[in-house]
Amino acid sequence: MITHAHATTVALTGHLMDTGILARVLDDVLEYGGDYRIEQLDLGRQHEDESRALIQVRAEDAELLDRIVMRVQVHGANPVDPGTAITRPAPVDGVFPEDFYSTTNLDTFVRLDRDWLTVDRAEMDCGLVVEERDGRPFIRNVPVSDVRAGEAVVCGAHGVRVQMPPAVARGEEENFGFMSSAVSSEKPQALLVRQIAERMREVKAEGKRILWVGGPAVVHTGASPAMVRLVRAGYVDVLFAGNALATHDIESALFGTSLGVDLAKGSGVPHGHEHHIRAINTIRAAGSIAAAVESGILTGGVMHAMVEAGKPFVLVGSVRDDGPLPDVYTDVIEGQRAMRAQLPDVGFAIMVATMLHSIATGNILPAAVPLVSVDINPATVTKLADRGSAQAMGIITDIGLFLEQLARELAPE
Amino acid sequence: MITHAHATTVALTGHLMDTGILARVLDDVLEYGGDYRIEQLDLGRQHEDESRALIQVRAEDAELLDRIVMRVQVHGANPVDPGTAITRPAPVDGVFPEDFYSTTNLDTFVRLDRDWLTVDRAEMDCGLVVEERDGRPFIRNVPVSDVRAGEAVVCGAHGVRVQMPPAVARGEEENFGFMSSAVSSEKPQALLVRQIAERMREVKAEGKRILWVGGPAVVHTGASPAMVRLVRAGYVDVLFAGNALATHDIESALFGTSLGVDLAKGSGVPHGHEHHIRAINTIRAAGSIAAAVESGILTGGVMHAMVEAGKPFVLVGSVRDDGPLPDVYTDVIEGQRAMRAQLPDVGFAIMVATMLHSIATGNILPAAVPLVSVDINPATVTKLADRGSAQAMGIITDIGLFLEQLARELAPE
Amino acid sequence: MITHAHATTVALTGHLMDTGILARVLDDVLEYGGDYRIEQLDLGRQHEDESRALIQVRAEDAELLDRIVMRVQVHGANPVDPGTAITRPAPVDGVFPEDFYSTTNLDTFVRLDRDWLTVDRAEMDCGLVVEERDGRPFIRNVPVSDVRAGEAVVCGAHGVRVQMPPAVARGEEENFGFMSSAVSSEKPQALLVRQIAERMREVKAEGKRILWVGGPAVVHTGASPAMVRLVRAGYVDVLFAGNALATHDIESALFGTSLGVDLAKGSGVPHGHEHHIRAINTIRAAGSIAAAVESGILTGGVMHAMVEAGKPFVLVGSVRDDGPLPDVYTDVIEGQRAMRAQLPDVGFAIMVATMLHSIATGNILPAAVPLVSVDINPATVTKLADRGSAQAMGIITDIGLFLEQLARELAPE
Amino acid sequence: MITHAHATTVALTGHLMDTGILARVLDDVLEYGGDYRIEQLDLGRQHEDESRALIQVRAEDAELLDRIVMRVQVHGANPVDPGTAITRPAPVDGVFPEDFYSTTNLDTFVRLDRDWLTVDRAEMDCGLVVEERDGRPFIRNVPVSDVRAGEAVVCGAHGVRVQMPPAVARGEEENFGFMSSAVSSEKPQALLVRQIAERMREVKAEGKRILWVGGPAVVHTGASPAMVRLVRAGYVDVLFAGNALATHDIESALFGTSLGVDLAKGSGVPHGHEHHIRAINTIRAAGSIAAAVESGILTGGVMHAMVEAGKPFVLVGSVRDDGPLPDVYTDVIEGQRAMRAQLPDVGFAIMVATMLHSIATGNILPAAVPLVSVDINPATVTKLADRGSAQAMGIITDIGLFLEQLARELAPE
């Protein structure tokens, strides 16, 4: 047994047993090479009660201790004696100080001297920059590529506190109880669809926006008409996708009937070069998707519906793209910025048939935003959860049938 | 280049190019160590025309040549000069003569002296027994375990001819065009459901029976109510399954509401010991599923609906079974016999969420019976096709949503 | 809040936090419709310490309470005040009394009046029969199909105690730490192979037997030579499999070189009828696999090596089997009995590329036997764990490379 | 039957039957809404002979006919009477004329008046720009994003001819026969490894370069040491990857031992935020991966080995990236250009555990470069083939064991 000279005590509250959060905190401490002693554990006696744990975390040196504390904050554990935050200037553009505080996706608070200040937004794997606005300190969450030399960056874990979204801490979401259990294709899917529809109605009623993230299988599975109905009924406030979804959608709208590649007859999806590069060229010639709609070139499909409904979309490219469409951000960091700009007021996120853009969105979403991932491939949902999006709830199902049933609930013909 | 002393010429007709059949025949010849020469090829000039190929097959010895000819008969290739059949007596019970003719799942004809006699039924991997009935020769298709010592078994490939089902030879099924292409989860699923519903209506209108093969996911995905509606509407004429489907269905009917494991609330499927073994014990005490229905113990679910509708089911056990239910055949060979006894008049087979019983059914089904395999796992469908069930057409989709939509088409509430 | 009149207190000890066991017990109580109150929780302060919990479980009626207690015994929770066991006679052959005690796969003890008697063996989903041997009470674990009318069967949960295997309770197995984390294909596989080899050497050194359960992919992936080396080196004490592994193995030995379907050249696996049914017929004619070895018909492959090494194998059939081979149990219940008869002294079980026989073996194995499941398909391992085999540890990897590396460790050429 | 006024005849040579190429050409004609008539078919009589087909293709209008001809050129079919090429100026930067010739990945030739000129390189989904170099016409293959207003772009299908790589046309690659059959995890993997090693030695002996494309699982599966040995032995001439492979590799090198996340002990891969963003920040502070190597910060792993060996790598970012590392191209179109610049002299490409970068590389590789895709997930290989990379040959296996065995063959310790 090594003696660990450095120690601090963290507190954890919530439904610790049911949710397995306590076990995960202890696991993380050991995994980082630290050790722990449970100082106190007040368990809810009944199922409804909250629990509270005090855990002494120990490590060989102060730096490691700091990193363990940052790590367990991912689960909502905060030091009992947080102290006040230390800042250091960023050495050059795009580089944090070495011991920068690395953020979680939880609501975060920083204490500079006495008061706790709320960080402007929650995003994981970023840094915290302290600046002055209107004569008062202001804390910005900043990705590493956006930090500028000399900006004051919070370092170490002192003076930082996080807060679990209440529903996650409770380990139960009233309407979404089904999802608390593990990812599975063996669930009553029709019921899940109704519950998601219900949640979407509530989110809209609260004046919040619904974010969709979609992959090209939305088109391949014949779900475009259902998706168009959802757009028109107002349930798609913003769409994140790549070049592929938009291109397949537009290709289908431009060539769907004239060339015999007839989705309506179910005769199969061509995997050809030719069609899609020609569709891309057509939109490039028009200047943009919106221009193609305006000029009457593009008259159907999901992208057309988004333009007609005046709803924003963010298309971010990838290295496998042909073209791409003129609306596509070819610089992925600029694309991430455009995605972030659409997050305010998002109250619900649904990710359909895409691994790349799902993970990208999961990376920048606050934990407080409920998130449903729908895919026929279990790996997509699992990877999303593994990346740290604990609020990701997965449904393994057929995209085509899922969207058709969801449209039936929310936008009956 | 080895000279192959032994040669024979086989003929192949149909849509050889579109279907890839010709390529598969040539592949098989080479794989078995033979060689070929294409003697003649009359290609359909237009898309609608049939093609006809004459292929000389060569092998080092007569035995290998015989085996190659048997092998390519799987694809409908027949010797131009078939000769007459040779029979030898089975040496002991359950054993064929060494060079027995191994059957395909195609309609098969045997020539003893001059006339071609039709084999009573088509099943692959069996032998052909010649016997007398009413003073005339009669050819029975017999699995190896059922042959009796002394029975006359057709040996070698002489005097045997097979016939492709017309639709397969044509390489297109009018209403089922979607399925001729490869297995994929990226197809317009809603359309597929409508096409299958349409085909089921036609099969019933022709007075044929619809065979279902199901796995326990029918219950887990919450599809039981949809399945019950299909049973009541007359679209499930016979059901093949294992102990698991029936047990989960009965467990759900017996304990579904009283014990809080509430499928209706979507709170998850228990994977416990206790419930299902108790359900099994209850039915064992009643004597049979039908007896449990009659005595009012079993009042809901798929098995209850089958009993009430007076429709037969065949449950065949497996080594992983608990119990099993009293209706389950614990001897798998007896179970196969019971399944075979249900095949006459089956005009359509649909396999849902089961690999084991799907392959078992594929093994005994004639190629002439169209077969749809529905599973969320692509491997199930692929394995079915690899086993030789060329008529197997696959849909990768969610079972729960699929059955709900099919019931909506065929048995609206 | 319903008042639950019936209550009992259960105790749980071990590494409750790290292992998540406590959370699972509480989950199960709620899932069954009961409620709980944590009466006492002594947490290990340090990582090495054991924890102990006292949980009051409440239910609406005595029967449900009994069932909840049985259920949580799966996790090693025992009533503080167990009382003494009640028995009732089995009503007819093959049927337990309605409220029979349903077993776990843990070491189990029954108290008839004052002393605790050890049950003869551990198997889940069975009943406990009390009888007299040599003038003393003796408790047998009996599957439902084997109980005889009038035998005294333990009913309810009174007077039954279970005991977690020490390693599982500790939540860590010294040499197998890698496996405590989740199933994943992203692990250092070469290291896993070395650890399994090490464990196998230890098991043999302790005089225990190693059980293998295998599927046909052992042959398809070209791993037969590696498997043969492991058999010869004494690391395969008993083999459970189906008709398929043995048939493919024998087919490869009989026809591997003569027919051009050459595994050694890597030119692909035939999925033909013909070969394998002919291989089966040959062995049926010989009478048994051993007879075919003795008479010089079968001269290579895994089954040949098992016969030569004098090691037992149990082949249990399934509904999809052709033939089958004469050694195959066609009655699955008899097959299960034959498998059970091979379990004494098994100290380690390894399951390779088979879902059906893996689950079947998991069903009858005591929890105390460590079990490794190796498959390229994650679903196999997941299903095994879901069925209740908590001691199942999974490796997602390529069977061919895995066996080749294992043979390199244990049986270098 | 519609009468199709417009017609042309295309010729196709090679092993048409074995390879299924003829069937695919006919399928494509029908899929595009055209029709065909086989004018002539000279089949190779023996297996070794080449076949030659003349196919009349018909369509309703000239534009559709042109597009069908372009489409079937993917399979190596060329018009019998090609005519001469027509060019039109690109209307604006980044836009082709509407009826531009869309390229295949085959060697391509353009006839301007009488002579056939060779296009500078093969890449699919691009256009052909005609310009003058040294007073002679020169044909450049240009992606749509790189075309400049006014450049002369070949339009329609006239005057363009393609040529299948000889090995593909033959339908057999002597040493790689195993791969001509379908993707499967059930192949003798050890043999495949030896064959790939052999091919790599040949490629190096011919003075060609070996291109690797890798995903982060190379690190997760513990294969880094094997990969490092392959780099040092000279079998990795250039590496394409994303931010993830490089980051995980560097994170492992920087924190692997100090933080208890010990790959060497197999105790699992952390999916934490913290570590990897800190690794990224460290390299950003150093300026580049090479600078971090030079300054002694980075002392191990795959990227370190590449830098030490003086071998180039191209890292292209994606929307899900954190950071990214300073070497990463954040603009995907610039990243594609950097990848293209590395293709000359590449004689073999191997893609390991990555879907995104595999498809990206498949998009820009000429068909003449043999390509092996290795992944534990069958979907990766299937998708690659579906995208048009017909030369993609897939191995479903465990990356860790695969690379360890490959290193054992090529770079024994």
Nearest-CB residue to C185 (from D188, D264, D398)? D398
Please check whether residue B288 touches A, CB under 8 A. Answer: no
**In a mutagenesis test of the C interface, which of D181, D398, D404, D405 is the best target, namely the one with the most C β-carbons within 10 Å?**
D398
Q: Give the range among A391-400, D36-45, D69-78, D256-265 with minimum mean pLDDT.
A: D256-265
**In a mutagenesis test of the B interface, which of A173, A174, A401 is the best target, namely the one with the most B β-carbons within 10 Å?**
A401
Residue D358 reports pLDDT greater than 60 = yes
Closest Cα to residue A375, out of A348, A394, A356? A394
**E strand or H helix at C275:** helix C274-286
pLDDT tens per residue, range B212-249: 999 988 988 888 999 999 999 999 999 999 999 999 99
Closest CA of chain C from D176, distance in Å: 9
Q: What is the DSSP string of A182-230?
A: ---S-S-HHHHHHHHHHHHHHHHHTT-EEEEEE-THHHHTT-HHHHHHH
Rounded to two decimals, the ipTM of the complex is 0.90
Closest CA of chain C from B404, distance in Å: 25
Residue A182 reports pLDDT greater than 50 = no
Chain C residue with CA closest to A41: the answer is: C43
Residues D321 and D243 sit within 8 Å (Cβ to Cβ): yes
| Other beta carbons within 10 Å of C331 | 18
Task: Tell me the average pLDDT across D225-239.
Answer: 97
Confidence label for A118 from pLDDT (cuts 50, 70 and 90)? very high
Residue A367 reports pLDDT greater than 60 = yes
**In a mutagenesis test of the D interface, which of B38, B42, B75, B185 is the best target, namely the one with the most D β-carbons within 10 Å?**
B38
User: Between helices D399-410 and D224-232, what is the axis angle to 10°?
Assistant: 30
Task: Tell me the average pLDDT across A294-300.
Answer: 96
Residue A406 reports pLDDT greater than 90 = yes
Residue D42 reports pLDDT greater than 90 = no
Tokens 């059957």 sit on residue = B103
Closest Cα to residue C320, out of B360, B339, B386? B360
CA distances from A344 to A208, A238, C179 (A): 9, 11, 42
Nearest-CB residue to B188 (from A188, A400, A402)? A400
Domains B1-79 and B173-410 share a fold: no
Closest CA of chain A from D25, distance in Å: 12
**Class for the domain spanning D1-80:** alpha beta
Joined tokens for residue D371: 């390509």
Nearest-CB residue to A273 (from D102, D318, D335)? D102
Please check whether residue B74 touches C, CB under 8 A. Answer: yes
**Taking CB atoms and an 8 Å limit, are A388 and D271 in contact across chains?**
yes
Joined tokens for residue D329: 């191209």
Please check whether residue C376 touches A, CB under 8 A. Answer: no
**In a mutagenesis test of the B interface, which of C35, C267, C274 is the best target, namely the one with the most B β-carbons within 10 Å?**
C274
Q: What is the DSSP string of D315-373?
A: EB--TT--S--TTSBSBHHHHHHHHHTT-TTEEEEEEES-SHHHHHHHHHS-TTS-EEE
Closest Cα to residue D338, out of D359, D315, D309? D315
Long-range contacts of D334-340 (CB under 8 A, 24+ apart): D334/A330, D335/A319, D336/A319, D336/D143, D336/D360, D336/D364, D337/D146, D338/D314, D339/A319, D339/D240, D339/D314, D339/D364, D340/D123, D340/D364
B154: which strand partners?
B87
**Taking CB atoms and an 8 Å limit, are B17 and D30 in contact across chains?**
no
| Other beta carbons within 10 Å of C40 | 12
**Which has the higher per-residue pLDDT, D51 or A188?**
D51
Joined tokens for residue B73: 């008969």
pLDDT tens per residue, range A226-264: 999 999 999 999 999 999 999 999 998 998 743 333 444
Fold of B1-79: Alpha-Beta Plaits (3.30.70)
Closest CA of chain C from A32, distance in Å: 14
Joined tokens for residue A100: 């920068």
Q: List D residues 383-402 in contact with C (Cβ-Cβ < 8 A).
A: 396-398, 400-402
Task: Classify burial at B341, counting beta carbons within 10 Å of its beta carbon; exposed 0-12, middle 13-18, buried 19 or more.
Answer: exposed
Joined tokens for residue B227: 């399945």
pLDDT for the residue numbered C365: 93
Residue D127 reports pLDDT greater than 70 = yes
Q: Give the range among A169-183, C176-190, D68-82, D251-265 with minimum mean pLDDT.
A: A169-183
Q: Is CATH 2.40.420.10 what the domain over C82-168 is classified as, yes or no?
A: yes
Q: In what order do the strands lie in the sheet with C6-14?
A: C35-42, C51-59, C6-14, C78-79
Q: How many angstroms separate the CA atoms of C96 and A181, rounded?
A: 33
Q: Chain B residues with CB inside 8 Å of D37's CB? A: 45-46
**In angstroms, how far is CA D207 from the centroid of its own chain?**
20
**E strand or H helix at C394:** strand C392-396
**Class for the domain spanning B82-172:** mainly beta
Closest CA of chain C from D210, distance in Å: 24
Please check whether residue A70 touches D, CB under 8 A. Answer: yes
Q: How many angstroms separate the CA atoms of C357 and C242, rounded?
A: 7
Considering chain C, what is the average pLDDT of its residues?
86
Q: Chain D residues with CB inside 8 Å of A377's CB? A: 379
What are the structural domain ranges in chain A?
1-81, 82-172, 173-410
Please check whether residue A32 touches D, CB under 8 A. Answer: yes
Closest CA of chain B from D394, distance in Å: 17
DSSP 3-state percent helix, strand, coil across chain C (nearest 5) = 35, 25, 40
Q: How many angstroms separate the CA atoms of A295 and A281, rounded?
A: 15
Nearest-CB residue to C402 (from D177, D187, D401)? D401
Please check whether residue A404 touches B, CB under 8 A. Answer: yes
Q: Is CATH 3.30.70.2690 what the domain over A1-81 is classified as, yes or no?
A: yes
Q: What CATH superfamily is the domain B173-410? A: putative lor/sdh protein like domains (3.40.50.10690)
**Which has the higher per-residue pLDDT, C194 or B327?**
B327
Confidence label for C397 from pLDDT (cuts 50, 70 and 90)? confident
| Other beta carbons within 10 Å of B197 | 18
Chain B residue with CA closest to C269: the answer is: B31
The hierarchical CATH code for the domain D82-167 is 2.40.420.10
**Taking CB atoms and an 8 Å limit, are C222 and D376 in contact across chains?**
no
Task: Classify burial at D180, counting beta carbons within 10 Å of its beta carbon; exposed 0-12, middle 13-18, buried 19 or more.
Answer: middle
Closest CA of chain D from B405, distance in Å: 27
Joined tokens for residue D199: 């091919």
**In a mutagenesis test of the C interface, which of A38, A46, A49 is the best target, namely the one with the most C β-carbons within 10 Å?**
A38
**E strand or H helix at C402:** helix C399-410
Residue D367 reports pLDDT greater than 60 = yes
Closest CA of chain D from C168, distance in Å: 17
**Taking CB atoms and an 8 Å limit, are C186 and D398 in contact across chains?**
no
Nearest-CB residue to B318 (from C98, C103, C318)? C318
Nearest-CB residue to C32 (from B259, B273, B333)? B259
pLDDT for the residue numbered A33: 84
Residues D96 and D88 sit within 8 Å (Cβ to Cβ): no
Joined tokens for residue D194: 């030896």
pLDDT for the residue numbered C226: 94
Nearest-CB residue to D33 (from A92, A260, A278)? A260
Please check whether residue D74 touches A, CB under 8 A. Answer: yes
Give percent above pLDDT 70 in chain D.
Answer: 85
Task: Tell me the average pLDDT across B48-66.
Answer: 89
Nearest-CB residue to D18 (from B23, B39, B46)? B23
Helix (H, G, I), strand (E, B) or coil at B43: coil
Task: Classify burial at A377, counting beta carbons within 10 Å of its beta carbon; exposed 0-12, middle 13-18, buried 19 or more.
Answer: middle
Please check whether residue A300 touches D, CB under 8 A. Answer: no
**Taking CB atoms and an 8 Å limit, are A222 and B187 in contact across chains?**
yes
D-contacting chains (≥3 CB pairs under 8 Å): A, B, C
pLDDT tens per residue, range C237-288: 999 999 999 999 999 899 874 333 344 433 333 445 577 899 999 999 999 9
Closest Cα to residue B33, out of D242, D104, C270, A160? C270
Closest CA of chain D from A178, distance in Å: 25
Closest CA of chain B from D216, distance in Å: 26
Write the CB contacts of A294 (distance below 8 Å, at least 6 apart in sequence).
Answer: none
**In a mutagenesis test of the A interface, which of B398, B402, B409 is the best target, namely the one with the most A β-carbons within 10 Å?**
B398
